[in-house]
Amino acid sequence: MIGAIRKPLRYGFELIERPFERVFGPALNPLAQLGALGFFFFWIVAVSGIYLFIFFDTGIEQAYQSVESITNDHWYHAGVMRSLHRYASDLMVVMVATHLLREFAYDHYRGARFFSWLTGLPIIWLLYASGITGYWLVWDKLAQYVAIISSELLDWLPIFGEPIARNFIATGTLTSRFFTLMVFMHIAVPLFLLFLMWVHILRISRPKVNPPRTLALMSLAALIGVSLWNPAVSQGHVDLARAPVEVGLDWFYLPLYPLTDIWGKGAVWAFLGAFSVMIGLMPWLPPLRRAKAAEVTLDHCNGCGRCAEDCPYEAIRMVRRTDALPFPTQAEVNPSLCVSCGICTGSCPSSTPFRRSEELVTGIDLPEYSLKELRERTRETAAALEGPGRVLVFACEHGAGAGGERGVVPVPCVAMVPPSFFDFVLSRKLADGVVVAGCAESACFNRLGVTWTQERFTGARDPYLRARVPRERIKTIWASTLEVARFERERAAFAAEIAALPPPVARKAQPSAPAARTPAPDRVPEGTS
Amino acid sequence: MIAILRAAAQFLIILALFGGVAAFANWPVYRQTPQGTAVIMVTFVHGADRKAACRKLTPAEIAKLPPNMRRTQECPRSRPPLYLELDIDGAPALRATLPPTGIAGDGPSRVYERFVVPAGAHEIAVRMRDTPRSEGYDYERTGRVTLTPDQLMVVDFRAESGEFLFR
C-alpha cells in the first residue's frame, strides 16, 4: 500500500530533479539541498527577526503601529527585513514539506534512518507554532483571525476552564502583557526548534547544514528581489467589534484554518493526530528488511579509520584495540545504525582482490555480500562477456544500471567496490573496460557513495585509484532509474570506444600511488609484489 | 558566456519559485462568511447555582456527625448543568444543556457559539436556567439589534449583575 504511493511519488521527483540537475548541476541542484536550504532559511528568519525586534513595540496599541512604521516609514531596511522574515519562513515550510516527501519517495526513512524521520515530526509542529505566534504579533485583521481560530482550536481540547477565544471578541480583555507573552513564545519556540534541528541530524555523518555558497547567494538575492516586488504588509488594524471574515491567508502556515469551518475543530485535531501517528509509525510500515550489519575482522584491521571516516551513517567508530596486534585502535560497528551499504568495505585498505590468501578476507565486510563474493561475481560476470568491447558494469542497485541483463555486477552502493577492483578487472583482462554506474549524481541513495567514488578516482580520497589504471577504460555513469535509456546509450557508446582502442600493453608492476597507507603488515597485494 | 547564461537561468528559476511562494503567502483571500452577513456570538462562562441542590440534614444525621463538623445542610460538590435558549427573529437558534466543566463536574459551564445572520435588524431573545427547576427561566433578555455587514455582536452574561449583555 505504502509502496504503491511511494513509487509514483519517486517517479515524480525523478521527473523534476533531472531537469533541475541539468540546469543547476549536481552540486547546486536545490532539490538535493532541501535540508541545507531549510537551515539557511532558518538563519535568515532568525537574523531578520532579531533586527525587527529592535523596532517592535509590545504594547496593545503600539504593536500594530510599530509594525506599520517598520513597513512604511522604514521600508528600505526594516520593511525589507519584515518581508525576508516572512518569506523565508514560508520557504522553510516549503523546504520541510518537500524534504519530507522526497525522503519518503526515496525510502530514506526506514531502518537506521528512522531517527531522523521521527525527530522531523516535532520539527514540523514547532515550525508551525513559530509561524503562527509570529502572525499574532502583527495585531492586524489576519492576527485577529489567527488568534480567534487558534484559541477556538485550543478551546476544543478539554484543558482550559474558560474559553481563551473570549479574549479576542471584545475590547478591554487584552493587555499589553499578552504581547510580551507572545513575543516570548515567538522567541522560545524557534530556539527549541533549532535544538530539535540539531537533534534531527545527530545520527547523520557530514550533514549538509549549509547550502553551497553560490546557491545561498542566489537564494538570498532572489529573496530580496521578491521582498521588494511584493513586500509583506499588514491587513488593517484589529477591530474586535467586527468579525475578521475576509483575510489574505498565508496558505503555507494556515491551510488548516479554513478547514475548521468546513470540517469542524474536532476533525482538524483528528487529522493532525492521525498525521502525526502515521508519520511516527511509517518507519515500521512495513519495517525495512535489513541485511546483516558490517562485521570487522580484527586480523585484517590495522585501525586506519578510513571506514569510520567514510561511513555516511555514523555507524562505525574507532575504539581501543582489543587484540594483540600493534595498532592503537580498531573499528567497531554499531549494528543499529548500519544500513549495509558496503562503503566501509570499499574504503578498507585490506579490500583488494589481488590478495593471494586463499580465503579473501578484509578488515570490514558485509556478511551477506562479502568481498570474496564480489570478486567471484566479478569473475563470473566478466567470463560471460564477448566481443571486442567487453564492458563490465559495477552497478548501484538503486540506479539505472541495476536493471541491466548482461555484464552487470550489482552492488548496494558503487562506493562498496574498492578502486583496486577496477585495476583487477583491467590488469587481469577480465574485461576491456569498466563502467561504474551509480545513482543520479545529486540523489545518491547512500548519501556519499557518489562523492566518495569520484574522490577516489581523482586521488582526493583514500583509497585512490592507482595511476597505472588506464582511465580511458573506466567510465562513470550517474543515472537514476528513470534514465535507463541514457545509461544504455552511454554504455554502448563506451563499449564502441573501448573496441576502437588498441589492446592494452602488458605492463610491469609499478610503485603504488600515494593512496595506500600501510596495509596490514601480513597482507601484501599481489599487484604490488 | 555560457556560464553567465547558465547562472542567469539558475537565478531566474529560483526567483520564479520564490515569487510563487510569496504570492501564496497572502493570496487567494479567504472569506469565512458570505458577503452581506454578520455574526452573532453567544459566549459566557457561568457556574450554575450549587446551593439550589442543597439538602437539609435531618436532626439524626446531624447528630451522627462529629461535634466540630456538624452542619445543617449538605451541598453536592458538582454543579447542575445550565440550560440556555437563543431565538433569532422568533426562530430557535440554540437549545443547549451546558454541562459543568472539570473532572468532578464542579467547574462553571461555558458556551461559545457563532451564528451567521444576514446584516440588518434582528429580534434576539436569550433565556437561561441555572437552577434545577424544570419550568421557567432564571435570566432572560430580548432586544432588537441592527447589524452591519461583518459586524460581530456578542451576547454575554454577567453573573455579578445577573443580566445578559448585547454588545
Q: How far is A231 from chain B (nearest CA, A)?
A: 9
Grid look-up 504593536 returns: A63
Alpha-carbon B21 to chain mean position = 37
Whole-number Å distance between alpha carbons of B140 and B125: 7
Alpha-carbon A240 to chain mean position = 46
Helix residue ranges, H only, A348-467: 371-383, 419-427, 449-458
Whole-number Å distance between alpha carbons of B107 and B111: 13
Whole-number Å distance between alpha carbons of A365 and A359: 13
pLDDT at B101 over 70: yes
The vertex-B42 CA angle with A176 and A131, nearest 5°, equals 40
Q: Is A38 on the interface with B (CB under 8 A)?
A: no
Whole-number Å distance between alpha carbons of B138 and A252: 48
Q: How far is A503 from chain B (nearest CA, A)?
A: 38
- Please tell me the number of Cα atoms within 13 Å of A291 on its side-chain side: 14
For residue A147, which residues of chain B lie inside 8 Å, CB to CB? Answer: none
Q: Is B29 on the interface with A (CB under 8 A)?
A: yes
Question: Which triple of cell numbers denotes residue B122?
Answer: 434582528
Q: Is B151 on the interface with A (CB under 8 A)?
A: yes
List, in sequence order, every residue forming a beta bridge with B120; answer none if it has no partner.
B147
Q: Do B26 and A152 touch (CB under 8 A)?
A: no
Q: Do A170 and B154 touch (CB under 8 A)?
A: yes
Domain boundaries, chain A: 2-15+36-281, 295-502
DSSP letter (8 states) at residue A200: H
Q: Is B93 exposed, middle or buried (0-12, 13-18, 19+ CB in 10 A)?
A: middle
Cβ pair A323, A370 in contact under 8 A = no
How much is the pLDDT for A507? 56
Cβ pair B110, A166 in contact under 8 A = no
Mean pLDDT split into 10-residue runs, chain A, 529 residues:
90 92 93 97 98 92 94 96 98 98 95 94 98 95 95 90 83 82 96 98 92 97 97 94 93 96 96 97 90 95 96 95 94 95 96 82 95 95 92 95 87 96 94 95 92 95 93 95 92 95 65 42 35
Cβ pair B113, B122 in contact under 8 A = no
A338's CB contacts (< 8 A; 6+ apart) are A112, A293, A294, A313, A315, A316
Cβ pair A331, A318 in contact under 8 A = yes
Residue of A nearest to B8 (CA): A218
User: Chains A and B: how many Cβ contacts under 8 Å?
Assistant: 129
Q: How far is A243 from chain B (nearest CA, A)?
A: 5
Q: How far is A200 from chain B (nearest CA, A)?
A: 25
For B64-84, what is each residue's pLDDT tens digit?
999 999 999 888 888 889 999
Number of alpha helices (DSSP H) and beta strands (DSSP E) in chain A: 16, 9
For residue A221, which residues of chain B lie inside 8 Å, CB to CB? Answer: 11
Cβ pair B49, B78 in contact under 8 A = no
Scan residues 119-148 of A and list those with Cβ closer than 8 Å to B.
142, 145
For residue B166, which residues of chain A lie inside 8 Å, CB to CB? Answer: none
Grid look-up 512495513 returns: A286
Scan residues 201-220 of A and list those with Cβ closer than 8 Å to B.
214, 218-219
How much is the pLDDT for A174? 81
- Fold of domain A2-15+36-281: Cytochrome Bc1 Complex; Chain C (1.20.810)
Whole-number Å distance between alpha carbons of A2 and A284: 11
Q: Is B41 on the interface with A (CB under 8 A)?
A: yes
Whole-number Å distance between alpha carbons of B81 and A84: 51
Q: Is A388 on the interface with B (CB under 8 A)?
A: no
Average pLDDT, chain B: 92
Element (H, E) at B84: strand B82-88
For B8-67, what is each residue's pLDDT tens digit?
999 999 999 999 999 999 999 999 999 999 999 999 999 987 776 788 999 999 999 999
Nearest of B55, B102, B47 to residue B80 by alpha carbon: B47
Helix (H, G, I), strand (E, B) or coil at A108: coil
Q: Do B26 and A219 touch (CB under 8 A)?
A: no
Whole-number Å distance between alpha carbons of A251 and A86: 12
Q: Is B146 on the interface with A (CB under 8 A)?
A: no
Q: How far is A98 from chain B (nearest CA, A)?
A: 13
Residue of A nearest to B152 (CA): A242
- Fold of domain B37-50+80-166: Immunoglobulin-like (2.60.40)
Residue of B nearest to A24 (CA): B10
DSSP letter (8 states) at residue A287: B
How much is the pLDDT for A522? 37
Nearest of A281, A338, A277, A331 to residue A302 by alpha carbon: A331
Helix (H, G, I), strand (E, B) or coil at B127: strand
Nearest of A132, A201, A142, A196 to residue A168 by alpha carbon: A142
Residue of A nearest to B153 (CA): A241
Nearest to A261 among B27, B32, B38 (CB): B32
Scan residues 7-26 of A and list those with Cβ closer than 8 Å to B.
23-24
For residue B28, which residues of chain A lie inside 8 Å, CB to CB? Answer: 249
Cα dist. A171→A60, A174, A181, A469 in Å? 11, 7, 18, 81
For residue A146, which residues of chain B lie inside 8 Å, CB to CB? Answer: none
Q: How far is A172 from chain B (nearest CA, A)?
A: 13
Scan residues 45-84 of B and list those with Cβ closer than 8 Å to A.
45
DSSP letter (8 states) at residue A246: E
Whole-number Å distance between alpha carbons of B81 and B86: 16
Residue of A nearest to B154 (CA): A169
Q: What are phi and psi of A291, to 5 degrees?
A: -70, 160
Q: Where are the beta strands (DSSP E) in A224-285?
A: 246-248
For residue B20, which residues of chain A lie inside 8 Å, CB to CB? Answer: none
Nearest of A436, A50, A413, A243 to residue B149 by alpha carbon: A243
Number of alpha helices (DSSP H) and beta strands (DSSP E) in chain B: 2, 11
Cα dist. A176→A54, A70, A173, A266, A421 in Å? 17, 19, 10, 31, 71
Alpha-carbon A384 to chain mean position = 38
Whole-number Å distance between alpha carbons of B109 and A162: 9
Q: Do B22 and A169 touch (CB under 8 A)?
A: no
